[in-house]
Structure 1
Amino acid sequence: MMTSREPQPDISRPTPDQELSVVVCEDHALTRHHLVAGLGTYRIRVHGVPDGAALTAYLASHDPDILILDIGLPGEDGYSIAARLHRERPHLGIVMLTARDQMDDRIQGLDCGADLYFTKPVDLRELVSAMGGLQRRLRLNRSAPASADWQLDVLRSALRTPSGASVALTDNELRFLAPLFQEPGTVIPRERLSRALEQVPDMYAMRRMETMLSRLRAKVRKASPDVPLPIQARHGQGYAFVGEVPEACETAR
């Protein structure tokens, strides 16, 4: 007598932990079609757009989990789109998928706010598996309880204020803040901060540091007008972060 058997999962075919919503921004129509059709077989809701203008229109009425983004787009390029959305939508995962395979391109993409960087052609199983990991990290961040502390989010290169605002950081701003967060309340010598910025600790480096800090204060003031950046300068010595930070503060590695 024949008996029915439960279908066994295909362990070679990764699927997201929960339903995942993805938008693909790719100007090459055939590539866009293959990505949308291929990802759709992995229990993923996918929509494709050809350029930055169409992406902006789509995001005006949709809130996807992850954006798959080409760099060489007509009009606004992928670097600019990634940097803009990194500021405007800090909980949107950004995956760059491009034919540009040089290390400088990869570094620029990650510096602009991309969470993952893949070169074409890509194995869809690897892409889906990586997006699953990104999905879990993003949802952990979204479900984390609000904190009255200042937080340095290294993964997203962002500074979170006690009011909940997220301030996107440049690579140098992140390097500058990391030592301050490691030892809150302690004056960090300017020479040590210069080394963190990979600069010679001379008069010009100190001026650049002061200019960078001034711009960072302005960014924080714009994002959170009632909560000024709590960095105090000690004349001739260095800087100290005097705000409240989590006890187990994760800093840049």
Structure 2
Amino acid sequence: MDTALNIVVVEDHDALREVTVEALCNMNHNAVGVDCAEALVDEIGAFPIDLLVVDLNLPGEDGISLARRLRSVQPDVGIIMMTARSQISEKLSGYENGADLYLTKPISVEELGAAVGALARRIKRREQDRPGFVLNRSGLFLQGSQGGVGLSAHEAAMLSALARAPGRRLESWQLIELSGKADADLSKSTLEVQIVRLRKKLMQAGAVDQPIKAVRGQGYQLCIEVTVA
């Protein structure tokens, strides 16, 4: 079983973040680093996350709050907290707020590798057992075989409507109505751009070929099964 993961390291100490990312890449994982919780937003849409490695003492939103928030919208994500906080009450708080593992600094590369490897086996096993694509409407998140992808509110609404439509097909005017646009000609060109973006996100999550195809003179059809949760 391929246990390579897409990993984001959230650590504000530049040198430690770079060393951690390099170590994870050397373990054949796909890893990137950001220096704060706010910067993670840019990665969620473009980089499907399997595992978050997060420091607790971050500028702005702290690691506990970030883990709790991400866990609420992506229940299957792996979360490793790395911190100098070693009190039992702090460890319990970490686990209560979404941590799979709570590691106390300093952490060796070997220990981190073993922790990530153990979680990787669990995460990949869960991916094999769950449905192909699941749309979390409230969390604006699509989970697929290649990981999770963040969606805009309008993208989630379009995907939900297509998934629930007879034959998973809707006419252009029906999709345009979801955006509330009044100018039909302008809206059709805008709709094409929106469909292209949504199609790319479906492919990031694991769809192949054309997950949404245009139906000439009518509208669009969703060509994969998506469960709306």
Q: Smaller-chain TM-score range?
A: 0.5 to 0.7
Question: Percent of counterpart pairs with the same letter?
Answer: 38
Confirm or deny: 8 A CA contact 2:3 2:121 kept in the other structure. no
Kindly tell me: are residues 47 and 164 of structure 1, through their superposed partners in 2, closer, same or farther at Cα, counting changes over 3 Å? closer
Equivalent residue for 1:72? 57
Runs of 4+ in 1 over 3 A off after TM superposition: none
Question: Counterparts of 1:40 and 1:110 in 2: how far apart (Å)?
Answer: 26
Structure 1 residue 39: deviation in Å?
A: 2.0
C-alpha separation in 2, matches of 1:95 and 1:145: 22
Shift of 1:17: 4.7
1:33 equivalent in structure 2: 18
Greater helix content:
2
User: How big is the shift at 1:20?
Assistant: 2.0
Deviation at 1:116, TM superposition (A): 0.5
Give TM-score, length-normalised by structure 1.
Answer: 0.50
Q: Which has the higher contact order (CA 8 A, sep 6+)?
A: 2
Q: Is the 8 A contact 2:84 2:104 kept in 1?
A: yes
- The one-letter amino acid of 1:125's match is E
Are residues 1:20 and 2:15 paired? no
1:52 maps to a residue whose letter is A
Q: SS of 1:127's equivalent?
A: helix
8 Å Cα contact 1:17-1:132 kept in structure 2? no
Give me the CA root mean square deviation.
2.3
Task: Find the aligned partners of 1:28 and 1:145 in 2 and give their Cα distance.
Answer: 36
Match for residue 78 of structure 2?
Answer: 93
**Equivalent of 1:54 in 25, 39, 43:** 39
Match of 1:115 among 63, 88, 100: 100
- 2:215 is aligned to none
| TM-score between both structures, scaled by the size of structure 2 | 0.55
Distance in 2 between the 1:111 and 1:29 partners? 28
C-alpha offsets along residues 219-248 of structure 1, whole Å, 9 cap, x if unaligned?
A: xxxxxxxxxxxxxxxxxxxxxxxxxxxxxx
